[in-house]
Structure 1
Amino acid sequence: MSDIQSDHDSEVLIGHTEVISSTSIERIVTGRNTALKQIEALICQLDEISTLTRSIGAKTALDWTMKQDFRCGCWLMEKKETAMKALTCNLDRSIWGDLMKKSGMLSLMDAQARDQWDRNLEGDNIPEINEANILSTFKQLHQSKAEVFERGVINVFKGLSWDYKSNSPCKFGKKIIVEGLVQYDRWGFHFRHGHRRDQLADLDRMLNLLDGKPVPENRNDLSVRLDAHISKQLSSVFNDEYVEIRYYQKGTGHIIFKRPELVEKMNDIIAKHYPGSLPAR
């Protein structure tokens, strides 16, 4: 077996080894705090204006600032305590999301890890954006990045169907067969989204990272490219850089790997998590 950790340091995690700089953190925290102070001042000013306009019969800002054809709520029109709590959460949620994207961690996460991160940012208990929280969060994420990537490989591996001989329960083979990849009706083939889409996107991400290449944007990952091909109804065979995918009327898809050395790297990760599952090379 090859050295898994060495592979990760030199290839899989290339471009994702820098911790966010202290200068950037200071600028983000300062900007966030300044914005919140200005928002609070604006709310107080709007409240004063509302008091004035109400006294002259023009109602409050909540009435005369909204479009009459489509009234909707606005936190700036609420009481200061309520508004500041909600607006602070909204700002911090957006900043955390932007930091994750810029750090490169999202590109290492599989669908399960990204979904968990999104859930962590829901609700009203979002960690405050400050220097200590940012440093501790991304230090922990940085230390666990190899584990995060490996879990993505394992999740795709475990998500495969074991109903076919080509799908060994111990490793990725030259070909894997998945059920429910497409559906077929009188109008032809259609790509089925849901968890199969996530699995293809995760597989695409892993193959690119293992090949030392940047991860494709989600608007152009493997599932999007396959969907576009299927929509054209030209051929039931899709060819891409790393895989060939053949799909059939019963809904199954045959995913044939073109780069055996990348399959071996995925199998190294599987062997690390399931010792003894693969024979020594």
Structure 2
Amino acid sequence: MHPESDTGKSTALVPRETVESIVARRAQALDLYAEAHHALEAASEALDAARTAEAALSGSANSFTFLSEKERKAFVDRLCVPPRPDFLATARRLTDIGIWGRLVELTELQRLMDKQAKDELRTQLQNEAPEATAETIYATLERFALDAGTIFRRGIANAFSSLDRRFRSHDGWKIGSRVIITRMFDDGGWWNHYSNTRDTLIDIERAFYVLEGLEQPANYGGIVGKIDAARTGGWGARQTEVESEYFTVRIFKNGNAHLWFRRDDLLRKVNKLLAEYYGEVIPHERDPDPDTGFDKVKTTPAKRFGFYPTSEGMAEDIVRNCQLYRREDQPGMTVLEPSAGTGNLARPCVKNWRAAVDCVELQDHLAAGLLAEGIYRRVWQADFLAMRPDPDKLYDRIIMNPPFDRERDIDHVLHALRFLKPDGFLAAIMSAGTEFRETKKAVHFRALMAEKRARFSDLPAGSFAHAGTYVNTCLLRVYADGRTVPY
């Protein structure tokens, strides 16, 4: 199976005759366990009878038998046989765990799975291994076949973002092919296992081998093995330089390392896979935008209007941390949600915090849906960037999930700040690239946010998977007056 192939065209990861053989042997094993339980029960009853007969002969312990009493008790101790339903359930679970583990080995899935995917599978098997019937095996393998490409692409995304946080951004590759890794080795000159860079390098190298259709050698034959070999015989902080087909690594005495990717062709493939993984929210098949500053605002609608709604669970978590509390004798805060969409951020402000909420939404059918709810103070069907704030009607809070592509999120946040009261607070979901891009707009925006003591924090990976994109996001929180934002 190749990650760039259409994995949905074939689900024959394991031949049918192999699956049928596994299922037949599973049934035989479970029948033998059932017979074994009968034998264990019979043995337990026989042991009880023998112990009763022996006790009738021995009588009470005396000075002649005292030294053997401990051995006698251990020898005739009762055989502990679990109740039959518990015994057979455990036999079934352990048998099925072994079968699923074997099925992973029989397929190419293990080669395409990153550490996270493997850990998730192990956890699933330990918590609730599905019964390994022919039906469940074929259904599971079909799902794995359909998801194999996504699993592989997610593995690449996880590996590179673990290596350097800049790669949480879909356009991280525009930074260049060199990565600076801090504290790759500790003060003693050993791998820093807190950063886990060793496993990350193995994951990235595995991805490169898969992309070339090659088998990954054992760890000692890859970049990690070359680094270990180059540092063998030394101790303490020391400088090392190692080169392989895919990497050049220079390690310094302070434990930091510079890593260069040597294959531009593989970087292009990886970038393409990352764009596919992050979803069509990222228009990667286009010429780059001009490197503009704050004065160049994109007023044309985003693709799909940038509509990737916040999940209800994440929306409630964000709103909960926006300090909306008011005493019962006080009126609720005034809140604005620009680009309100389906109102997932606005709704909990009203229902949970008694806020007076205004919504702005460009798409007429979504604006109509918000209006039909009948819980918002105002609903405008309008382009938020075309609106102008009323100095007498500014807001206590602005909570927003603007369009991400082509730095539109920066344009929307900058515009939203004009609608805040002098002591107001803004929370905005933004593209992770906002923290890392070196465009003029991104650099100036980060400088402004630093002046205002704003805080960026990562949102969980896959926060927008429900909306069809795996783009990484962050949460910006800032007070208009520059107060420090709490953690």
Report the TM-score range of the alignment, normalised by the length of the smaller protein. 0.7 to 0.9
Kindly provide the amino acid, as one letter, of the partner of residue 193 in structure 1.
H
Query: Is residue 2:114 matched to residue 1:110?
Result: yes
Give the unaligned 5+ runs of structure 2.
56-73, 289-487
Q: Deviation of residue 80 (structure 1)?
A: 2.2
The answer to whether 1:210 aligns with 2:211 is: yes
What letter corresponds to residue 238 of structure 1 in structure 2? Answer: V
TM-score (normalised: structure 1): 0.78
CA distance, structure 1, for counterparts of residue 225 and residue 26 of structure 2: 36
Q: Which amino acid aligns with 2:150?
A: E
Matches within 5 A, 1:71-86: 77-86=81-90
SS of the equivalent of 2:282 reads: coil
Whose relative contact order is higher, 1 or 2, with alpha carbons under 8 Å and at least 6 apart? 1
Whole-Å Cα distance in 2 between the matches of residues 206 and 226 of structure 1?
A: 19
Larger radius of gyration: 2
Quote the offset at 1:64 in angstroms. 5.1
Deviation at 1:159, TM superposition (A): 2.3
Tell me: CA distance 1:141–1:54, structure 2 relative to 1, closer, same or farther (3 Å). Answer: same
Corresponding residue SS for 1:191? coil
Q: Does 1:198 align with 2:199?
A: yes
Contact 2:96–2:129 under 8 Å retained in 1 = yes
Task: Give yes or no for the alignment of 1:42 onto 2:43.
Answer: no
Q: Mark the CA change 1:279 to 1:27 in structure 2 (over 3 Å): closer, same or farther.
A: same
1:134-189 superposed Cα distances (whole Å, 9 cap, x missing partner)? 001010110111111111111123223358xxxx834473322222311133xxx2
Q: 1:8 Cα shift?
A: 1.0
Alignment of 1:263-274 (within 5 A): 263-272=267-276, 273=278
Contact 1:172–1:266, Cα closer than 8 Å, also in 2: no
- In the TM superposition, residue 204 of structure 1 has moved relative to its aligned partner by 1.2
Contact map agreement 1:172 1:263 (CA 8 A) in 2: no
Q: 1 or 2, which has the higher helix percentage?
A: 1
Residue ranges of structure 1 left out of the alignment (5+ in a row):
1-5, 67-73
TM-score, normalising length from structure 2? 0.47
8 Å CA contact 1:190–1:230 kept in 2: the answer is no
Instruction: List structure 1 segments (4+ residues) > 4 angstroms apart after TM superposition.
Output: 63-66, 217-222, 276-281
The answer to whether the aligner puts 1:29 opposite 2:23 as a matched pair is yes
How many Å separate the matches in 2 of 1:65 and 1:252?
64
Deviates more, 1:256-265 or 1:141-150: 256-265
Structure 1's 88 and 133: CA in aligned 2 closer, same or farther, altered over 3 A?
Answer: same
Match of 1:136 in 2: 139
Q: 1:18 to 1:262 in 2, by over 3 A?
A: farther
Determine the C-alpha separation between the residues in 2 that align with 1:142 and 1:253.
Answer: 38
Distance 1:265 1:65 in 2: 68
1:163-178 aligned within 5 A: 169-171=172-174, 173-178=176-181
> What's the Cα RMSD here?
3.3
Shift of 1:87: 1.9
- Does structure 1 residue 96 correspond to structure 2 residue 124? no
CA distance in 2, matches of 1:238, 1:213: 22
Q: Say which SS state the counterpart of residue 250 (structure 2) adopts.
A: strand
Between the aligned residues of both structures, percent identity stands at 23
Say whether the 8 Å CA contact 2:3–2:149 is kept in structure 1: no
1:191–1:230 contact (8 Å) kept in structure 2: no
SS at match of 2:143: helix
**1:44-88, Cα deviation, whole Å (9 max, x unpaired):** 1122022112211179xxx6599xxxxxxx9x9433222211121
Please tell me whether the aligned partners of residues 163 and 197 of structure 2 are also in contact (alpha carbons under 8 angstroms).
Answer: no
Flag the 1:172–1:56 CA change in 2: closer, same or farther, 3 A: farther
Work out whether residues 19 and 134 of structure 2, in 8 Å CA contact, stay in contact via their aligned partners in 1: yes
Partner of 2:332: none
- Distance in 2, matches of 1:202 and 1:34, equals 39
Q: Residue 183 of structure 1 contacts residue 249 of structure 1 at CA under 8 Å; is this kept in 2?
A: no
1:244 corresponds to: 248
The Cα offsets for residues 4-54 of structure 1, whole Å up to 9 and x where unpaired, read as: xx97129xx8xx974211111110011011011111101211220221122
User: 1:160 is matched by which residue type in structure 2?
Assistant: L
* Alpha-carbon distance between aligned partners in 1 of 2:34 and 2:23, rounded to the nearest angstrom: 17
- Is the 1:181–1:253 contact (alpha carbons within 8 Å) kept by the matching residues of 2? yes
The aligned residue for residue 182 of structure 2 is 179
Distance in 2 (alpha carbons) for counterparts of 1:225 and 1:30: 46
Q: Are the structure 2 counterparts of residues 228 and 35 from structure 1 closer, same or farther at C-alpha, using a change threshold of 3 Å?
A: farther
Q: 1:143 to 1:258 in 2, by over 3 A?
A: same
Cα deviation, 1:95-151, whole Å, max 9, x if unaligned, reads 10110121110110111111111111112x210010010001010110111111111
- The total of aligned residue pairs comes to 254
Structure 1 residues 248 and 7, CA gap change in structure 2 (3 angstroms):
same
Name 1:149's counterpart in structure 2.
152
SS of 2:272 mapped into structure 1:
helix
Superposition map of 1:119-134 within 5 A: 119-123=123-127, 125-134=128-137
Distance 1:120 1:219, change over 3 A: farther
CA contact (8 A) 2:239 2:251 kept: no
